[in-house]
Structure 1
Amino acid sequence: MFDPNEVKRLIEQGLPCEFVAIEGDDGTHFTGIVVSAAFEGKLPVRQHQAVYATLGTLMGNEIHALQLQTYTPAKWETVRGELGL
């Protein structure tokens, strides 16, 4: 079982991020928001794959699901007020 803070740490360690928030209360299913300049020019599926890559073999094993919202810094500036963050 994984702690959301450990998932967050691994993502931040593997990807340059401006903001990461991960939640989950059962240790295997998580939701999160990741903001990174590395997402510029990438389709959402490629953005998600970049995040999953930071977690390696944990995805599909110890981490059963990670529902993501990914944003570039510019898009995040627009969206974060709508999300109340």
Structure 2
Amino acid sequence: MDSAEVEAQIESEIPDATATVSLPRTPDENHEDSHFAAVIVSPAFENKSLVEQHELVYDALGDAMTTEIHALEMKTYTPDEYDQTASVE
């Protein structure tokens, strides 16, 4: 599973989500590094705790979280939260 596939899976499973997924480090010598970093923005995160937001992402990725993805760093935002962080930068 590559970054584009992770993005597509998240975006297809979480309503109105926009995901940006990257590899946060250089792949291992076998080019099989399955560590990803993701920024996910969705109104589905409204009124949910951080744990609940992350659970939505894990649920969206399903079995891939235990078979194809070794680790996933994630930052989750509602659209308003994301707009606020963008205006600070």
> Is TM-score (shorter-chain normalized) higher than 0.5?
yes
1:40 to 23, 43, 46: 46
CA distance in 1, matches of 2:22, 2:57: 15
| Deviation for aligned residue 1:18 | 4.4
Q: Which runs of 5+ in 1 are unaligned?
A: none
| Paired residues of 1:18 and 1:73 also in contact (CA < 8 A) | no
Q: Could you state the TM-score of these two structures normalised by the residue count of structure 2?
A: 0.83
RMSD: 1.5
Q: Could you state the TM-score of these two structures normalised by the residue count of structure 1?
A: 0.87
Query: Runs of 4+ in structure 1 displaced over 3 angstroms?
Result: none
Which position in structure 1 is the counterpart of 2:74? 68
Does 1:7 find its partner at 2:10? Answer: no
Which secondary structure does the structure 2 equivalent of 1:17 belong to? coil
Q: Which runs of 5+ in 2 are unaligned?
A: 28-32
Query: How many positions carry a matched residue from both structures?
Result: 82
